[in-house]
Amino acid sequence: MMTCHLSLEITQWLTSQFPLPLACELSYDTEDPLAVTLVFDPDGERPVRWVFCRQLLADGLVTRVGRGDVVLWPMGSEGERSSFCVRVGVGHRAALFEIPTEPVGRWLAGTLAWVPQGTELDGIDWDELVQLAE
């Protein structure tokens, strides 16, 4: 098992006129190779944890992706995407965050070096899982 973490300062947009600096942490664990975990305010009294698909994060750096509880999209024009947005939750219980693209892109590339895209399920014994399901 290998894990990697990225801690960084992001912006929570409480309103379009009120940005709030906030710490967050991204983590990846090869034991769950399809997922990334995003924790907002990890050292606070009530950290908030979201787990979603690693591919969703990768796609969200370059295009709008997601539905429902997690939606991501890049900010800025094609060659100048210095940040991306993450909206978690729905309706009046949604929160909007702006995250710098460059450190997340580097961190994500590291996770893809460990477990390349398309190989996440290579180590699974499908016969054993089928037997358990029967």
The CA-based angle 90-94-95, given to 5 degrees, is: 150
Q: Which pTM does this prediction carry?
A: 0.86
CATH number at residue 36: 2.30.31.20
Rounded Cα gap, residues 134 and 118, in angstroms: 27
Please report, as a single letter, which amino acid is at residue 107: W
In the chain, how many domains are there?
A: 1
Residue 66 in tokens: 């997601």
Residue 95 in tokens: 């929160």
The 10s digit of each residue's pLDDT in 2-45 is 899 999 999 999 988 999 999 999 999 999 999 999 999 999 99
Residue 100 in tokens: 């710098």
The 10s digit of each residue's pLDDT in 107-119 is 999 999 998 888 7
Domain containing 102 equals: 3-133
